């Protein structure tokens, strides 16, 4: 079924590169646009959006919406790093993302599915709060 060939382009490669270089960062389409303009030359914004759509569809990148309302954020789903399995904590103050790979989480998910019949999707879920540093700074 669905057999659409996949052409390899300069633009796509650059977007992939951006994520490779910034595996922990939540980037906006604009961040990537600016990266391209700075390092690689000109690009159309629509192209960025289309690349990102493709990557989200392929499960390479996760798309979510920031609290701020400044638009969507994209982040690499690094399977080598277990990003498809673990939770992400995001600090609402400094924006840092913590990858939560921890046995307790498995218990957490098991509890939720067992007691509440709810199957957590951790590729979509982001837990907001304050990281240690920012909490201390307050």
Residues that bind a copy of itself (CB under 8 A): 64-67, 69, 72, 89, 91-92, 98, 100, 102, 104, 108, 111-112, 115-121, 124-132, 135
Name the residue nearer to a copy of itself (CB basis): 14 or 126.
126
Q: Containing H/E element for 99?
A: strand 97-100
Contact with DNA (CB under 7 A) among 22, 24, 25, 49: 49
| Residue 51 binds DNA, judged by CB under 7 A | yes
Strand 27-28 relative to strand 97-100, pairing:
unpaired
Is there a contact between 94 and 61 (Cβ–Cβ < 8 Å)? no
CA distance 10 to 31: 18
| Residue 29 binds DNA, judged by CB under 7 A | yes
Name the residue nearer to DNA (CB basis): 72 or 100.
72
In the complex, the smallest distance separating the C-beta of residue 94 from a copy of itself, rounded to whole angstroms, is 12
Is there a contact between 109 and 120 (Cβ–Cβ < 8 Å)? yes
Q: Which two tokens stand for residue 30?
A: 């604009």
């Amino acid at each position: 079924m669905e057999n659409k060939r996949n052409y390899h382009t300069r633009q796509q490669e650059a977007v992939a590169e951006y994520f490779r270089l910034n595996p922990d960062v939540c980037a906006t389409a604009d961040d990537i646009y600016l990266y391209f303009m700075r390092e690689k030359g000109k690009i159309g914004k629509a192209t960025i959006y289309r690349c990102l759509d493709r990557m989200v569809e392929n499960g390479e990148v996760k798309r979510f919406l920031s609290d701020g309302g400044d638009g969507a954020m994209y982040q690499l789903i690094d399977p080598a790093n277990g990003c498809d399995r673990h939770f992400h904590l995001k600090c609402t103050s400094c924006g840092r993302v913590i990858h939560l790979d921890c046995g307790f989480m498995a218990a957490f998910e098991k509890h939720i599915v067992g007691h509440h019949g709810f199957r957590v999707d951790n590729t979509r879920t982001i837990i907001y709060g304050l990281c240690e540093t920012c909490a201390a700074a307050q």
